[in-house]
Amino acid sequence: MSSFPDIRPRRLRRTPAIRRLVEENRLAPAELVLPLFLKEGLAEPRPISSMPGVVQHTRESLRKAAHEAVSAGVGGLMLYGVPTDDHKDATGSYGLDPAGILNVGIRDLVAEVGDSTVIMSDLCLDEFTSHGHCGVLAADGSVDNDATLAIYAEMAVAQASAGAHMLGASGMMDGQVGAARRALDKAGFQDTSILAYAAKYAGAFYGPFRAAVESSLQGDRRQYQQDPPNLREALREVDLDVAEGADIVMVKPALPYLDVIAAVRDRVTIPVAAYQVSGEYAMVEAAAANGWIDRDRAITESLTAIKRAGAQIILTYWATEVAQRLRY
């Protein structure tokens, strides 16, 4: 007669090999997307102090970073352009310029890695506006939603013309996906896909990113980004983006909104992405630098949590490092 208890779940945790065999969620390099910053006018890469290990790239270092990421098996690259201040204006017009830093960077990435990964570009105006908002301003200082959509439509075509495979619609304007989709289709870019930042929350975790893109933001973005207490409202945003033609929907940030990721995963049949944002990255790096946590375990655990919640695509600044670790 066996001794009590007869059922022992710990049997499947006994050795690393057994734990590996029964693992329910397993990260893969192809699920990771690396965000990259291309800074205009740099002679050498510039470290971002609040994001240890992340830099503003030159065109040359961008190509090298892309090659390294692709060699590690990373699934995609998300590019952000960082113009000089003299190229910023009230309407973000430099973002539409074929010779602008973002469109130049897209062409560089396509030339360097081609179709061996997914080249994604940030379809937003905030890096290019003198006021730092994601759209043009009305006379009362609010963001003019519909005037912004017209610019997004032009910007989408400019990025597709530069060779981007996928556009990251991140501005949180009503109708942004539909406006971009119609413009792309009209211009003959029916095969260019859209990654909708469907639930982008106006949270407190973006500070290091804004330093990375040298944001000129005045005020905040609460009038158009998602309100942190709300989940059902986020699902409505997701429904609208899917109806407008989004190919992938994303939740941003990731760790503070795991419940939203799970709800979105249950809601849609298209792929779900999540963005592990700069503040999430910076917190882990800072705690690890002080010896308070195990850095590598914390990175893996946080990414696994995002995947377990339902994201099959994860944007993370650790993409290349983690992909190399998983692969080798």
Alpha-carbon torsion 208, 211, 213, 216, what sign? positive
- Do residues 129 and 148 make contact, with C-beta atoms less than 8 angstroms apart? no
Going from the C-alpha of 201 to that of each of 89, 96, 113, 152, the distances in angstroms are 25, 26, 32, 20
Among residues 39, 88, 252, 307, which one is catalytic?
A: 252
The two structure tokens encoding residue 232? 């059902």
Tally of residues, the chain = 328
Alpha-carbon torsion 224, 228, 230, 234, what sign? positive
Alpha-carbon torsion 34, 167, 112, 162, what sign? negative
Core vs surface per residue 130-143: b (16+ CB within 10 A) or e: ebbbbbbbeeeeeb
Give which of 293, 268, 315 is closest to 34, Cα–Cα: 315
What does the alpha-carbon distance between residue 109 and residue 298 come to, in Å, rounded to a whole number? 31
What does the alpha-carbon distance between residue 41 and residue 89 come to, in Å, rounded to a whole number? 18
Query: Residue 88 catalytic?
Result: no
Other beta carbons within 10 Å of 151: 22
The two structure tokens encoding residue 187? 């211009």
Among residues 39, 88, 200, 307, which one is catalytic?
A: 200
- Do residues 274 and 311 make contact, with C-beta atoms less than 8 angstroms apart? yes
What residues have CB less than 8 Å from 57, skipping those under 6 apart?
A: 36, 37, 38, 39, 42, 45, 65
3-state secondary structure of 37: strand
Q: At 24, which amino acid appears?
A: E
Give catalytic residues, as residue numbers.
200, 252
